[in-house]
A and B are shown apart, each in its own frame.
Chain A
Amino acid sequence: MNAHSRRVAGQRLPRLDGIGKVTGKHVYAADFTLPGMLFGKVLRSRRAHALIRKLDISRAAAIPGIRGIITSADIPAVRFGQAVRDTSVFALDRVLFAGHPIAAVAATSLEIAEQAIAAIDVEFEDLPTLFDPEAALDSNIRIHPDWETYKALPIIARSGNISGRARIRAGDVNEAFASAYRVYEHRFTTPLVHPGYTEPRTAVADWDANSNVTVWSNTQLPFDTQNTLAEILDLPAARIRVIVPGIGGGFGGKLRIGVEHFAALLARKTARPVKVMTTCEDELTSAYPRQATVVTLKTGVDREGRLLAREGRIIVDCGAFAGSGPGTAAISLQIMAGPYKTPVLALEGIAVYTNKVPSGSFRAPAGPMANFAVESQMDIIARDLGIDPLEIRLRNIVREGDLGPSGEIHKSVSIEECLRRAADAIGWEQRNPEPGRGKGIACSWWMTTGGSSGVYVKINPDGTATLVSGAVEIGSGAITGAAQVLAEELSLDLTDINVAGVDTQTAPFDYGAQGSRTAFSVGNACLAAASDLRRQMFDLAARQLDAEVNTMVLRDKHVVAGSKSISIAELARISRLSGGGLIAHGTAISPSPAYDPTRLENHPLPAWNSPSYHAHAVDLSVDSATGSVTINRYVVAQDVGFAINPTYIEGQIEGGVAQGIGQALSEEIVYNEGTVVNANLTDYKMPTAQDMPDVECILVECASAAGPYGAKGVGEPPCIQPPAAINNAIAAATGFWLDSLPMTAEKIAKQLRASRA
């Protein structure tokens, strides 16, 4: 099938859930209620690091309307966690951050639950604290004194406060630096930032008469939530049913269990359905933000600016629990290498515990932090050597067949096209159109997260199809994209595809709406299911039409064999009587690319599946008095492999850039002595409509052999480059680079004054 013959895939068709969402009929987890439902609240520590000396719930339990209170005394001391099993439902003998759960209550109203929380009596004995990740590396203070007893993935190297350490090495850096024309060393820092989804994390739990529990939640990973609940509740996973009614964004912040366990435990205790929903303060003090990092880079180049060697180290502040910190530290290594050909590499990623909020996997984990460092340094080097920033990149970027940092072979490489098209679009030849105005560019690469997906597809008697997937439609339009693939393959219209809601009891497994994988992986599973359905329909049609299967094609909702044809609807009706209907199970798994294991240590994601390449260019103005930045234009050239639905790919890019601009210019969870001081949306500054330019998207289509019709992952990349591209444009406008995010007006004004002095 060639691209021109496609009627559905590749078209700008309206998303399947659009009408429900604009009319208020789409039900989100936060909207979900059950009769007789109680309201749960969680008591969270206000101390950053302390022993719990006393925990008395008697006063709270006596409040009328309270139906149940649970503390660590009520449940087994199970430790769970993604890479390191270091997390418990409630603080055990000590709290490790301000926000650490201590107890939970269920009451007939939210107000009563809040009163009970205030009435729980806790006495603490403060312990010495660690807030600085670099200090935590060598400190004698142990945030997890018993860390050696925790189970962890074998690939995670731990010691002291270090929850994980990964390395990539190739060649001898010291030798390479000694022979370099110049060697540059820089240090960059990035803060904690919140994913900022508009729907709070919510769960409603209810136990049935047979002691099975159903949890309605807005998790991105229903199967992971099911497994974690199984450990916490000490039940087989099959007795836990997770249903996702609808989800108001996630961006990685709703990957791991958030409030589902509190709802399930309170519901078991009270024998009533219980709803738990976070507040804005909960979100900004105890959700799963992007880790703060410290990145140091040492890069050796020749006279022409060609990269000879790079030594890089990223310290990832994972907070009180490892969360995705070890994985993020490891993924950082590929970003530190960049989409560049560097013969010698010594890259190290370290995740370290501090007494701060446990962090998570916000969109492109490690991407914006490491790219901010790498791409800012590329421009600093270019300036020093008198080379144009675009030119230095073009001299160093990887080409088809080059070796990647893990010794893998780069394929389907489009970085030059992305760089040239982004630069052309922004008017690169004129980088300083007027004083105080500058243009910057930054590029990167990113994986298409693999993992397995399964779908069931059933043909209905009216000839439409029902798609059952375990993947959540998080808002990206990925399920509409997968449905477009299915419709294309079955010769149906997109509106002929009915998408069932996600329910772990009935849906096949899916690795989850995470990474940049849903349309890719679920789309591939749809290809497989459609292939099976075609076989089933052709077999059935062979008997009805008295024709050979190998003469048949599927066209306009009919099986056609020469001059004879029969509709899919008719076949579906016949199949009901003859064999239980037309139904197929399609599966997909991305094979791991080959790599060189001698280059890697403790890396959980050694080589990237179907990577994408991208470049961002920005034109901005810096106010010489206030230091405030106004973005005039923003251009993204991103390789998407094949644009299954260009409208929603643009939506992903425009939204990712908005989050990236937030991280670049304004967003930061601010700590003061272990307490978040801006735990509200007035002081945590996400971009509004007035802060955003009209992002211009250039979709590059350099097909991947692995994706449906060549598609690559799309969702995470647009979040990666904005900080670096903006820093480089600020430098073009002012002459200086910032070395910490966010690049607030205050920081820029301070530098402007210093440079004038």
Chain B
Amino acid sequence: MTRTNLDILINGERHQILIEPHWTLLHVLRSVVGMMGTKENCLEAECGVCTVLLDGKSVNSCILLAGQTAGRSVTTIEGIGNPEHLHPLQAAFIECGAVQCGYCIPGMILTAKSFLDENPGRRQSRDEIREAIAGNLCRCTGYRKIVDAVALAAERMSVAGAKP
């Protein structure tokens, strides 16, 4: 198959990758770049574990062709915080006990980040949070503590007043 060049910004770093036309962004992230924080499951955009941010908006990387991301900016879980400097959402997920097996959590956090970034400086109602994360399945938690964590992060980020 003919490979084409993909020029892409991943977590602020420029990558030039030879891709096949049918490769998904998920495949490129996990199998080419080796960023395993983005998880793989249904490959049909139904479970949300592969969620990443494309130019700041959450997308399911399993059904997005890598070629469509040319020249754009991708943020994965590795790009929003690290163990020494956790993002407020990451800290809140730990603090609220919102993490169990954890497989859905990178996608869940990125979906929540996309949602909070759309409404900077505003507290979110539990119903709004539930609607925002409804595309990310979690089988461990029953969602309550995840909603707690997003609400806590939203509150802290709104108090801080800064764009998250």
Interface residues of A (CB under 8 A from B): 12, 14-15, 17-28, 30-31, 111, 195-200, 246-249, 251, 277, 279-280, 474-477, 647-648, 650-651, 653-659, 680-682, 686, 688-690, 692, 694-695
**Which chain A positions have C-beta within 8 A of B140?**
249, 475-476, 651, 655
Smallest beta-carbon distance A347→chain B, Å? 32
The reply to whether the CB of B114 lies closer than 8 angstroms to some CB of chain A is no
**Are A658 and B143 in touch, CB under 8 angstroms?**
yes
**Are B78 and A23 in touch, CB under 8 angstroms?**
yes
**Are A24 and B106 in touch, CB under 8 angstroms?**
yes
**Are B101 and A247 in touch, CB under 8 angstroms?**
yes
- Summarize A's interface: helix, strand, loop or mixed: loop
Interface residues of B (CB under 8 A from A): 22, 30, 35-44, 46-47, 49, 76-78, 81-83, 86, 90, 93-95, 97, 99-106, 109, 126, 129-131, 133-147
Q: Given contacts A14-B95, A199-B39, A474-B101, is CB(A23)–CB(B147) below 8 Å?
A: no
**Which chain B positions have C-beta within 8 A of A277?**
40
Q: Given contacts A24-B37, A647-B97, A686-B137, is CB(A249)–CB(B103) below 8 Å?
A: yes
**Are A27 and B36 in touch, CB under 8 angstroms?**
yes
Q: Which of B40, B109, B126 sits near A30, CB closer than 8 Å?
A: B40
**Which chain A positions have C-beta within 8 A of B135?**
688
**Which chain B positions have C-beta within 8 A of A475?**
100-102, 140
Residue of A nearest to B109 (CB): A22
Residue of A nearest to B20 (CB): A111
Q: Given contacts A25-B83, A689-B134, is CB(A18)–CB(B39) below 8 Å?
A: no
**Are B133 and A689 in touch, CB under 8 angstroms?**
yes
Residue of B nearest to A654 (CB): B142
**Which chain B positions have C-beta within 8 A of A474?**
101
Smallest beta-carbon distance B92→chain A, Å? 9
**Are B137 and A688 in touch, CB under 8 angstroms?**
yes
Residue of B nearest to A696 (CB): B144
Smallest beta-carbon distance B38→chain A, Å? 7
**Are B137 and A695 in touch, CB under 8 angstroms?**
no
**Which chain A positions have C-beta within 8 A of B146?**
689
Cα of A704 to Cα of B43 in the assembled complex, Å: 45
**Are B130 and A23 in touch, CB under 8 angstroms?**
no
**Are A651 and B97 in touch, CB under 8 angstroms?**
yes
Cα of A724 to Cα of B95 in the assembled complex, Å: 33
Residue of A nearest to B133 (CB): A689
**Are A280 and B44 in touch, CB under 8 angstroms?**
yes
**Are A654 and B134 in touch, CB under 8 angstroms?**
no
Smallest beta-carbon distance A274→chain B, Å? 15
**Which chain B positions have C-beta within 8 A of A280?**
41-44, 46
Cα of A19 to Cα of B92 in the assembled complex, Å: 11
Residue of B nearest to A658 (CB): B142
Cα of A108 to Cα of B104 in the assembled complex, Å: 28
**Are A648 and B97 in touch, CB under 8 angstroms?**
yes
Q: Which of B37, B106, B141 sits near A654, CB closer than 8 Å?
A: B141
**Which chain A positions have C-beta within 8 A of B137?**
196, 198, 681, 686, 688
**Which chain B positions have C-beta within 8 A of A655?**
100, 138-142
Give 15 A-B pairs besides A277-B40, A654-B143 with Cβ atoms closer than 8 angstroms: A15-B97, A15-B99, A19-B83, A21-B102, A21-B105, A24-B37, A30-B39, A248-B101, A248-B102, A280-B42, A650-B145, A655-B142, A681-B42, A681-B47, A688-B137
**Are A695 and B142 in touch, CB under 8 angstroms?**
yes
Q: 3 closest pairs, A vs B, by CB?
A: A24-B37, A475-B101, A248-B103
**Which chain B positions have C-beta within 8 A of A195?**
139
**Are A198 and B99 in touch, CB under 8 angstroms?**
no
Cα of A651 to Cα of B93 in the assembled complex, Å: 12
**Which chain A positions have C-beta within 8 A of B43?**
279-280
**Are A23 and B134 in touch, CB under 8 angstroms?**
no
**Are B99 and A694 in touch, CB under 8 angstroms?**
no
